[in-house]
């Protein structure tokens, strides 16, 4: 049993147990929110800023709640499931997300950060590496971007990403490999020019 699952059990059962209980006692589902909303919220805000991230957070949990009867009870940790739902919802914003990366690469101003920070912070220009990275992120395919950001920002494991995206673990490996190769190539290229 992982440390996370252990702690979860101490606090009232694993996610799977809570979700199972919530079929008969819907109010128990609120505990799933309390456990995972903060990390999901952070991830969504990092990808698309506000207000979209705030809306998607609510939507993710509404959908999860409606689908709770179909939750795979063998999965003790609900994070891959929740991030999977959120990833599907993020598709609506794929173009806006890429536009924000491109704008950051071009102008040095990050719209997503600007949507969250006060005016002073907004004016702080990104350094060259961040701009390069933003340009490279914009160029990644949606699937590769989902995989690498679930890995680095959501801190999901290979298997958890596979569960979230409903793809084989081998595919996660190849997506991460490809995404990292592209990001490295962009950063190295940028470095060699300076």
170 burial type by CB count under 10 A (0-12 exposed, 13-18 middle, 19+ buried): exposed
> Does 158 sit near other proteins (CB under 8 A)?
no
Contact positions with other proteins (CB under 8 A) in 3-32 = 26-27, 29-30
54 binds other proteins (CB under 8 A): yes
Residues 97, 73: Cα–Cα separation, whole Å: 33
- The rounded distance, in Å, linking the Cα atoms of 177 and 181 is 6
Could you tell me the CA-to-CA distances from 29 to 7, 16, 21 in Å, in that order?
A: 18, 11, 8
Does residue 71 bind other proteins (CB under 8 A)?
Answer: no
Of 4 and 153, the one with the shorter C-beta distance to other proteins is 153
Least Å from the CB of residue 186 to other proteins? 8
Q: Give the one residue of 133, 156, 162, 163 binding other proteins; rule: CB under 8 A.
A: 133
Q: Shortest distance, CB of residue 130 to other proteins, whole angstroms?
A: 6
Of the candidates 116, 135, 173, 174, which one interacts with other proteins according to CB under 8 A? 116
User: Which position among 17, 20, 21, 42 is part of the footprint of other proteins (CB under 8 A)?
Assistant: 42
160: left (phi over 0), alpha (psi -120 to 50) or beta: alpha
Total site size for other proteins, rule CB under 8 A? 45
Query: Which of 67, 99, 106, 123 is close enough to bind other proteins by CB under 8 A?
Result: 67
Task: Write phi, then psi, for 141 (nearest 5 degrees).
Answer: -70, 160
């Amino acid at each position: 049993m992982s440390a996370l699952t252990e702690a979860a059990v101490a606090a009232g059962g694993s996610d799977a147990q809570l979700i199972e209980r919530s079929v008969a006692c819907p109010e128990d589902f609120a505990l799933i929110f309390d456990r995972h909303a903060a990390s999901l919220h952070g991830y969504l805000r990092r990808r698309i800023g506000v207000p979209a991230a705030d809306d998607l957070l609510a939507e993710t949990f509404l959908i999860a709640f409606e689908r709770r009867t179909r939750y795979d009870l063998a999965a003790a940790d609900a994070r891959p499931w929740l991030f999977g739902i959120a990833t599907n919802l993020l598709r609506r914003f794929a173009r806006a997300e890429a536009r924000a990366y491109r704008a950051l690469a071009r102008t040095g101003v990050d719209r997503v950060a600007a949507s969250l920070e006060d005016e002073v912070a907004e004016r702080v220009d990104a350094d060259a590496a961040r701009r390069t990275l933003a340009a490279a992120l914009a160029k990644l395919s949606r699937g590769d971007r989902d995989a690498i950001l679930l890995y680095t920002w959501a801190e999901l494991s290979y298997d958890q990403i596979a569960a979230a995206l409903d793809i084989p673990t081998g595919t996660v490996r190849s997506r991460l490999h490809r995404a990292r190769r592209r990001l490295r190539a962009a950063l190295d290229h940028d470095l060699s020019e300076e």
